[in-house]
Chain A
Amino acid sequence: MTPTIESKISHLLAERNKEAIELVFTHYGSLLLNIINRVLRDDEMSEDVLQSVLLKIWQNGHNFDSSKGSLFTWLVRVSKNAAIDKTRTKDYRLSQESKNGVEVVSIAESISTGDEIEKLYAKQLIAQLPGDQKVLINMSFFEGYSHKEICENLGIPLGTVKTRIRTAIKHLRSII
């Protein structure tokens, strides 16, 4: 099924069909947003950049060559470049200056306060997933944290971050 989605998207991109963008958004949107956020560390700005990435994908889709790598690798490259370009804007610099010092607090909040985790627990499907695993999943796949940052923020050795993330996802897959 999935390879069909990748080839379907490739095919639609070659035709400059808007449906390709919808499929990219549905199947890769959250992963790409995470990758952008890894660079920008700003949810709102990352969503803006994702929006521009979707546009770039539609405009340059015909340049995608499946023989040179997977669609995802190409999407990640476009997203990373867009995110890096964004860091060079005045807009980004101003937001970074005003956020200095606040970031740590907000990160700490998102991890330490049980509010969001409580909300997540409310979701029955994922209710059985341990909180630390959810945090790992969120940080790694949805909140733009690199393994190194996770290691630093959660106090987990870098060598075990990878395996813990894997364990968390394994668990996730077993329950959904």
Chain B
Amino acid sequence: MDIQAYISSGILEAYLAGELNEQEMLEVDRVATEYNEVRIELDALRESLLKYAQVESKAPRQEVLDGALKSIQEIEKEKFFEVLDDEPEVRIQRVNIVPVWTIAATILLFLSLGFNYVFYSQFKNTKDQLAALQSDQTSLANRVSETNEQLQYAELRIAHFMSEDNIHIRMDGLDLAPESFANVFWNKKSNAVFISVDNLPEPPHGHQYQLWAIKPGVAPIDAGIFDHNQLVQELKIVRGNVEAFAVTLEKEGGSPIATVDKTFVKGFLKKS
């Protein structure tokens, strides 16, 4: 294509003047895209006409642009207000949503607090009851344990009494209390001594009964003081060649030496 001839043909001026139909204009655009000279020529022509229009007051009045810009501004303003118009709905929704949630949350909170209080009170009561029950149980367990111990002890004593190793000595009342009597069980192997107080008179205030083991040729040997109210009591261990057992009335706390004239009961071992 002869570009200079194309340019010189006046088609570019016709293009700018609006003389060409759209098809022809698009053809010029195509050529201008392909040939840089054509594009440059077109731009130069347009710039020249622009300058001419400015100088010769052929350009459209400024009011045309101002009017268009004003319309654009109004459209933008309308759109802005459309956005604002949408806003209240959102705001109302927000205003509505927030109190509903707040009220609901507050109600739930107070309900929760109320239930918490009730449940805590119940829990505390239950805890106290449980503690009381545990305490009862503990004391019961202690008692059971105590009773068990007592039972075991009783069983031991029964075993002791039933044992063949045990020697039974019946002590009969002497002149001071002819009605009285008591029994001694002496284990020859373990040397344990038990007394079974059966019928001894109430001792005077500040006095106590004391058991003695009597061996030949020696002073009576202390076998321990005992409570005359208690049926069976384990006393001191007694070893050796015992001839008899006797109970004397002594001052409270007992005496190292037997007060022989206050002998209430006395019994001799049977000769085997």
Which residue numbers of A lie inside 8 Å of B, CB to CB?
Answer: 1-3, 18, 21-22, 25-31, 33-35, 38, 47, 50-52, 54-55, 58-59, 68-70, 72-73, 76-77, 80, 120, 123, 125-126, 134, 137-138, 140-142, 146-147, 162-163, 165-166, 169, 172-173, 176
Contact = CB atoms under 8 A, between A and B. Distances in A.
Nearest to B61: A47
B9 A126 contact: no
B64 A120 contact: no
A58 B64 contact: no
B201 to A, nearest CB: 128
Question: 8 closest pairs, A vs B, by CB?
Answer: A2-B43, A35-B18, A54-B68, A162-B10, A30-B53, A166-B10, A142-B58, A70-B29
B43 to A, nearest CB: 4
Interface string B30-69: 0010000001000111111111110110111101110111
Interface centre among A3, A69, A146 (most CB of B within 10 A): A69
B43 A3 contact: yes
A30 B49 CA distance: 9
Interface of B: 8-10, 13-19, 22, 25-26, 28-29, 32, 39, 43-53, 55-56, 58-61, 63-65, 67-69, 71-72, 75
Q: Majority SS of interface residues in chain A?
A: helix
Given A34-B17, A162-B10, A58 B65 contact: no
5 contacts: A70-B29, A125-B55, A146-B19, A165-B17, A169-B13
